[in-house]
Amino acid sequence: MEKSVGILIASTICLFFLLGITQASKESQKPHFFVEGIVYCDPCRSLFKTNLSVPLEAAGVRVRCTDPKTHKVTFDMPSVTNSTGFYSVRVEGDHKNAICSVLLMESPMENCNETPCGKLDYETFNVTLTNNKNNDNNNGNIRRVNDFYFFAKEASPKCKQEFKNMQDIPKLKHMIRCGPFTYM
């Protein structure tokens, strides 16, 4: 009697275990993506990385998808950066027919919370969240987007020298509209 109860319990545990495995593999087969990037404080107000850029912890970002026809939000997920300025947003599902973007939301630093032209528009990146085979990126389901920068209220006096030391200053034509930036 005791033996058969034991067997029953053992086989029940085994059954749950197997269910768990199939559940887990189904879970990993569902399309999902990781949108990743880094948020910096830019003490040079330059919108590109220098040796003076500092990764920002607890900066807010969000991944949002909208239907281009109805303008309805079809996915929306906030996230924050960790101590290395890094964020990784897990996106469930395939968003083939949506416009998806990564938005910079919030700075944790009062003296480093400005954005170019006072707008967040320059701190938005579109991202393709589909495994559509026409999509020619080979990064699997990881979407690494460009760095985000919050500007310090005033450019650090060290920046001039930093720009002089740099071999290549990235050209940011679209920024000229709302300059001047310190490197110009």
Ligand X SMILES: *[C@@H]1O[C@H](CO)[C@@H](O)[C@H](O)[C@H]1NC(C)=O
Name the residue nearer to ligand X (CB basis): 84 or 97: 84
Q: Where are the extended beta strands (E) located within the chain?
A: 32-42, 54-55, 60-66, 73-80, 86-92, 99-106, 124-127, 142-144, 148-151
Which residues contribute to the site for ligand X (CB under 6 A)? Answer: 51, 82-84, 86, 88, 99, 124, 126, 162, 165-166
Encoded tokens for 18: 């197997």
Minimum CB–partner distance for residue 167 and ligand X (Å): 8
Closest approach of ligand X to the CB of residue 63, in Å: 13
Cβ closer to ligand X: 12 or 141?
141
Instruction: Please provide residue 85's backbone torsions phi and psi, each rounded to the nearest 5 degrees.
Output: 80, 5
Token digits of residue 1: 């009697």
Task: Identify which of residues 25 and 51 has a Cβ nearer to ligand X in the complex.
Answer: 51
- Residue 110: CB minimum distance to ligand X, A: 23
